[in-house]
């Protein structure tokens, strides 16, 4: 893939991460655990899992956003570093959004065929939390489609270099 194409892809991802991380950060800054549980202490552990996943996603997004900025400012453009970063973003941000390691929510892959949102929670959650993931999902879905190439391409390059 040419430098221009990779650079353009990295710029798009940078914009996406900027918007997504701001949304997550605003939600986390404005939301308190007590607001989520709304007196229902039975779900306290579940809401802690959700907030933990969101914080992890925010950290990954911010770290990778910084990496994008550094690579985009470098002269000459470092194509290999950019491809490695896009691969890392795919795994740390995109995959983590659709399938968090702590199983705070899950992706219903059948929803993609119906046009509905695919992120589902195991329990009923407040509307603010549901709306956050619903708002983020479109961007993450687009980035997943755009970055899936780097998943296979980067692995192929690593395998061939051994």
Quick: pLDDT tens for 34-50: 888 877 788 899 999 99
Let me know: does 105 contact 121? Beta carbons within 8 Å.
Answer: yes
User: Tens digit of pLDDT for each residue in 83-117?
Assistant: 999 999 999 999 999 999 999 999 988 776 666 78
Sorted by where each begins, the domain ranges of the chain are 3-161
User: Minimal CA–CA distance to 17: which of 99, 70, 94, 122?
Assistant: 94
Across-strand partners of 120? 106
Q: What is the pLDDT of residue 38?
A: 78
* pLDDT confidence of residue 46: 94
pTM, 2 dp: 0.89
pLDDT confidence tier of residue 2, bands split at 50, 70 and 90? low
DSSP code at position 109: T
- Cβ-proximal residues to 12 (8 Å cutoff; 6+ apart), any chain: 146
* Distance separating alpha carbons of residues 124 and 160, to the nearest angstrom: 47
The mean of the pLDDT values for the chain is: 90
Spatial distance between the Cα atoms of 37 and 127, rounded to a whole number of angstroms: 12
């Amino acid at each position: 893939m040419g430098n221009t194409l990779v650079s353009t892809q990295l710029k798009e991802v940078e914009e996406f991460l900027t918007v997504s991380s701001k949304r997550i950060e605003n939600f986390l800054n404005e939301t308190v655990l007590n607001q989520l549980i709304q007196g229902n202490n039975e779900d306290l552990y579940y809401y802690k899992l959700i907030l933990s996943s969101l914080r992890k996603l925010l950290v990954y997004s911010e770290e990778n956003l910084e990496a994008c900025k550094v690579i985009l400012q470098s002269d000459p453009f470092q194509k290999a570093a950019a491809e490695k970063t896009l691969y890392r973003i795919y795994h740390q941000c995109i995959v983590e959004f659709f399938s968090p390691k702590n199983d705070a929510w899950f992706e219903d892959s059948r929803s993609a065929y119906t046009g509905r949102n695919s992120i589902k929670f195991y329990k009923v959650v407040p509307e603010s939390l549901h709306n956050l993931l619903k708002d983020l999902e479109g961007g993450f879905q687009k980035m997943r489609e755009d970055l899936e190439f780097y998943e296979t391409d980067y692995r192929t390059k690593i395998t061939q270099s051994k």
